[in-house]
Amino acid sequence: MIDLHTHSTASDGILTPSELVRHAASHNVSVLALTDHDTADGLEEARKTALKERITFVSGVELNIQWPTGEFHLLGLGLKKIGDELSSVLNRLKSGRNERNLRMIERMKEAGFDADLEEIKAEFKTECIGRPHFAAYMVEKKIVKTRQQAFDKYLAKNAPWYIERVGADLDEAINAIKLSGGRPVMAHPLSIYISFGKIRPVLENLKARGIEGLEAFHPGARVGECLRLEELARDLGFFVTAGSDYHGEAVRADRKIGHTCGGRKIEDSIWDDIKEIILG
């Protein structure tokens, strides 16, 4: 099995980079990409552990992109280095994320809840705090009973504590990934909330702007949708990737390392088709 989309405690996963690699090895994953949100901090630790575990490791990142509808996430797979351009993008995303978090803390305090961002960072041992951390913190503080309730009542879009986060410019992000030796891949394409009837010209435009791959297989979509995305991707000249978007079973019990839509194992054939592109 392979897995080209996973997260560690460097962003919003629950396993450290080393623990994630060992977890993958114990579940017979032979190729693993670490793609933490807006940070490359966990890559070196994961790479060293992968070498010990004899796993082919793919250095990656997942960037939040400014987009008018839904959520646009851009994977960078096969990074050879973290170039100045990518560092600049990551630093600005980190700054924007921190500003957003402080504003969310302000809203919590205005609602009468005692909250502290530094306490959340210490609790989860990461500087890359996002809404999943807030949700877990709210459960711990007994503000809500479950993480899902935290999102439904307070953190989801249009909920009282939600703050829009500014993403990276798409063209700048594509260029930064390429200058770092990586390949730009559109993650979970259906999350931009454009229907199949209208998505083809959007993807054509993204291909022309430099995106090379499409994550056709993702657990957030149905199997039939993923197969349609695969067909569309190949027709438009994208290479196809697949991932679990694994954060840890305690976060999403339905997402298993090495598995994607419909609980399907991610077969080695996906990697066989693209390994020369990714590893270069």
CATH of the domain at 245: 3.20.20.140
Question: What pLDDT sits at residue 87?
Answer: 97
Residue 154 counted as domain residue: no
Residue 89 counted as domain residue: no
User: What distance in Å separates the CA atoms of residue 85 and residue 175, rounded to the nearest whole number?
Assistant: 8
Question: For a pLDDT cut of 70, what percent of the chain falls above it?
Answer: 100
Number of structural domains found in the chain: 1
The pLDDT-based confidence of 254 (bands split at 50, 70, 90) is confident
Question: What pLDDT sits at residue 219?
Answer: 96
* 251: pLDDT strictly greater than 80: no
Q: Which tens digit of pLDDT belongs to each residue from 33-77?
A: 999 999 999 999 999 999 999 999 999 999 999 999 999 999 999
Residue 269 counted as domain residue: yes
Residue 100 counted as domain residue: no
Question: What pLDDT sits at residue 125?
Answer: 78
Q: What is the mean pLDDT of residues 232-252?
A: 94
Closest listed residue to residue 6, CA positions, set 206, 26, 31: 31
Question: What pLDDT sits at residue 168?
Answer: 97
Alpha helix stretches (DSSP H) within 111-195: 117-124, 131-140, 147-150, 170-179
User: What distance in Å separates the CA atoms of residue 31 and residue 249, rounded to the nearest whole number?
Assistant: 20
Q: Which domain holds residue 186?
A: 2-83+182-279
Q: Residue 111 to residues 57, 114, 122, 143: CA-CA distances in angstroms?
A: 45, 9, 23, 11
Residue 10 counted as domain residue: yes
Sign of the torsion formed by the C-alpha atoms of 64, 67, 73 and 75: negative
Q: Which residue has the tokens 């919003």?
A: 12
Residue 66 counted as domain residue: yes
Residue of 128 and 23 predicted with greater confidence? 23
Residue 247 counted as domain residue: yes
Q: Which tens digit of pLDDT belongs to each residue from 144-179?
A: 999 899 999 999 888 999 998 889 999 999 999 999
Q: What is the mean pLDDT of residues 13-25?
A: 96
Residue 101 counted as domain residue: no
